[in-house]
Every structure is written in structure tokens, then in C-alpha cells.
Amino acid sequence: MLTDMRPKGTVAERLRSLRAEAGLTRKEIESRHNINSQSLISWEKSHRTPKKDKAELLAAMFNNYGIPCTADWILYGSGKNPLDVVAQNPEESYLLKEIYRFQEFHQNSLIIQVKDQNMAPWINKGDVVGGVLVDLKEIDQFVGQVCIVKTQDFGTLIRLVQRAKDGILYDLVSFSKKGNISNVELESVARIVFLRRK
């Protein structure tokens, strides 16, 4: 099937529709993304057209909000209409928006998509888990809890954190015995804040 390459309205109409889909005010775009609200007003009222570099900045911003947009679509209406793509997969778009907003409010966040079944049935392969990184000096308050952990040798995992017998390293315990890892030095730990099922 050929992609419809006809322009979808004017630049102003496309920008207004993208901003509405993202649920952003002009002031929010200015404060969060450093795009002047007066410029945005001018673009949205067809007084001026954004330059290519500004269109690329806008496209990247909308992508962060789960709207798969390109600068060419903003400027010329060419390519797939991102609003049609969002309409076809609203759950994924909503998840991307939620992740981006979570990262905005938690600069020290860590979000992963689970790659194994070692914590099933609580957390399953394909689920998205987000957490807030804690200072390793405070890790002892998370012993006995399920956390997102980063290790040098085993990558990023979700495991129950336990103190190893030597009292210095940690054991990472899974709900399935095959996922247990003993005597691990942790690079970072994130307290789990949200879980989104696949």
C-alpha cells in the first residue's frame, strides 16, 4: 500500500493538532522544551513558518510524547500522518507519554522493559517498570524489596535484593530459582514506582 503523500492541512494546522494530541499548552512547551511561546503562536497562526532546525526540535519533542512525528511532516505534510499512527495504537502512545512525563518529574529515573520471566507472576516479560534511583549509601533500606538493579556483569534486572553472606555484596533473588544471582556488586538501585503490563 502506498503512503498518502498529500499535505495534511497547513503547517499551522499540523502544529496545533500535534500540540493538542500531546496535551501541551504553549507555556508548557516553552518551560519544558525551551521553545519560545511567541514563536509557537506565530507558527500556529500562520504568521511565520518554523525553520528546519526548529521543526526537527518540535518533531523530537512530539516523539517524546508518543507521537511519531518528523520535521518533514510538520513542514510539508509529507510521509505518514503521526496522528493516524497514534490512533492505530493509542495504548503505546499513552505509555510513551507516561514514561516521558515520569522522566520529566524524576531526573534520576530508570525505566526498563522486562526481558525475562524470572519475577513472574508479579512482573512478566514485556512489562514496563519504572523506578527512581537511590544513592547506594541508602541501599540497606531496600534490602528485602524488589528493585531495578544495575550490575556490571549481569546488566539491568528486576530482583529481590538481599545481603550476601559476606555482608558486603548482594544476592539478587528471583521468583524462579534459575534467575538467582549471588555475590553481586551493585552499580545502582532504583525503587520501583510504576509497573505497566504488556
Domain chopping of the chain, boundaries: 11-105, 109-196
Q: What confidence category does residue 194 fall into, taking pLDDT thresholds of 50, 70 and 90?
A: confident
Which strands sit side by side in the sheet containing 155-163, from one edge to the other? 109-113, 128-134, 186-196, 146-151, 155-163, 170-173, 181-184
- 57-85 residue pLDDT tens: 999 988 888 888 999 999 999 888 888 87
Identify each DSSP E strand in the chain by its residue range.
Answer: 109-113, 128-134, 146-151, 155-163, 170-173, 181-184, 186-196
Q: For 111-134, what is the mean pLDDT?
A: 90
Burial per residue of 63-79, b for 16 or more beta-carbon CB atoms within 10 angstroms, e otherwise: ebbbbbbbbebbbebeb
What is residue 6's DSSP assignment? S
HSE at residue 73, side-chain half, CA atoms within 13 A, is: 23
Contact 111, 97 (CB under 8 A): no
| Residue 132: alpha-carbon gap to chain centroid | 13
Q: For 163-190, what is the mean pLDDT?
A: 90
Superfamily of chain region 109-196: Umud Fragment, subunit A (2.10.109.10)
Residue recorded with cell 500531546: 22
Residue 58: strand, helix, or coil = helix
DSSP count for the chain of H helices, then E strands: 7, 7
Superfamily of chain region 11-105: lambda repressor-like DNA-binding domains (1.10.260.40)
pTM equals: 0.60
CA-based nearest residue to 184, from 120, 99, 159: 159
Please give the pLDDT value at position 8.
60
Chain mean pLDDT for the chain: 86
